[in-house]
A and B are shown apart, each in its own frame.
Chain A
Amino acid sequence: MTGGKSPFLWTLFSAGGTVAALLFPIHLFLTGLAFPLGWLDAPSHESLQDLVRHPLARLYLFVLISLPLFHWAHRFRYTLYDGLSLKHLAPLIVVVCYGGALLGTAMVVYTLWNLP
């Protein structure tokens, strides 16, 4: 294996960036703006629960939330290195960024597991 963990982390970054680029605008527009502002009718609790009962929907939600967190971890890590010249804090930054993404992923798995 060449390159340590970099190729793996970069792949997660890229996959997460693609998921976020493709799917976040529409989800954010609906959930964050159109539903609260009453532009469109929000789906009811029941219909959403019906929707997430399907295993494929759960897989979708896992990918939707987890991968973009790793995208953030990787990108934000380098933003701190380059944008604020904080490379000397690298060990701490790595733990906070990827640790945060791992924690978020664990919470997604836990939440999805416990959905009725």
Chain B
Amino acid sequence: MSSDVHYTLHHPKWYRRRVSVWWWLQKRSYAQFVLRELTSVFVAFFAVVSLWQLHALGEGPEAYAHFMARLKSPLFLALHGVTFLFVLFHSITWFNLAPTAIVVRLRGKRVPDFVIAGMNYLVWLVASAAVAWLLLRG
């Protein structure tokens, strides 16, 4: 909002606590929130890896083989292991929170949250199966 609360700002006797930079360490659910937000870093990391893969694919079979060999290094395996956990955490929190944002009404009644979340998980399953089929069928 544009206008601040002018008449309370400088009251001399009222006590105001400053919010600590580390506020999210003070409560479990706050820490979980920051962890959820940090999944975006891992999402970005894998997007960049995919971009790199695409680039290698265009460069030819040799470059692609080199890329695939790099993924076998312990560093990348460890990175991808951690990234996988965070990306899973992103998926689960994303689907679980979807019903709060998406309200569907059928014949005047609100569709229950578990149905909306369930649909999300179902689409997830189908999409994953489709991707796996496309990449594994050859």
Contacts and interface: CB of A to CB of B under 8 A. Distances in A.
Contact of A31 (B37, B43, B53, B94): B53
A44 B58 CA distance: 13
Contacts, number: 152
A51 interface: yes
B138 A24 contact: no
Contact of A68 (B44, B58, B68, B131): B44
B18 to A, nearest CB: 10
B5 interface: no
Interface residues on B, range: 35 or more
A26 to B, nearest CB: 4
Q: State the majority secondary structure of interface residues on A.
A: helix
Interface residues of A, number: 55
Interface in B21-51: 21, 24, 34, 37-38, 40-41, 43-44, 46-51
B37 A115 contact: no
Interface stretch (B6-14, B73-81, B104-112): B73-81
A30 B125 CA distance: 15
A49 B63 CA distance: 13
